[in-house]
Amino acid sequence: MERIFRSSVVLFFVLLLLTGLSFAQNVENGKKLFNDPSFGSSTNDKSCNSCHPNGKGLEQSGKKEKIIIMGKELHSLEEAVNMCIEGPLSGKAIKIDSQEMKDIVAYIKSLTKN
Ligand code: HEC
């Protein structure tokens, strides 16, 4: 009984560690995409970083219930990302459930300051 309990505790912490590591990996990839001028099939030489240097101005975005970009009211970071891809980057929206979207959203969330 005690052995089962102990191995569950160990398993729990291993899983916690793996979750933390994979989140750090997402943030790292997201940061690369944020600085990549070809992200979102961008057709100009801009990256997200051109207008939001080091994520400047996005420190509250991860917490917002609504985001307004160019007069349009959006209700998720994913929509905001695609709005900036289709607008400023003249690119093509990426899938909401894609790995790239998860990574870029993880990066934006990692910028959140209180
Ligand atoms: C040509 C400039 C430009 C580029 C390039 C650009 N954005 Fe934006 N972005 C804006 C403007 C302008 C706004 C709306 C005003 C504001 O809140 O800063 C905005 C708003 C946002 C917001 C919402 C901010 C908030 O909290 O209201 C997010 C998130 C965002 N952009 C992410 C991105 C991502 C991700 C990329 C790259 C795919 C990107 N942007 C590329 C200009 C740009």
Question: pLDDT in tens for each of the 114 residues of the chain?
Answer: 788 899 999 999 999 999 988 888 899 999 999 999 999 999 999 999 999 999 999 999 999 999 999 899 999 999 999 999 999 999 999 999 999 999 999 999 999 987
- 10 Å CB burial of residue 79 (0-12, 13-18, 19+) is middle
Identify which of 41, 69, 89, 92 to mutate to test ligand 1's pocket (most ligand atoms within 8 A of the CB).
69
Which residue's CA is the nearest one to ligand 1's atom 11? 69
Identify which of 27, 32, 52, 75 to mutate to test ligand 1's pocket (most ligand atoms within 8 A of the CB).
52
**What's the 3 CA to ligand 1 centre distance in angstroms?**
52
- Please report, for residues 73, 96, 107, the alpha-carbon distance to residue 99 in angstroms, rounded to integers and kept in the order given: 25, 9, 12
Whether the CB of 77 sits within 6 Å of ligand 1: yes
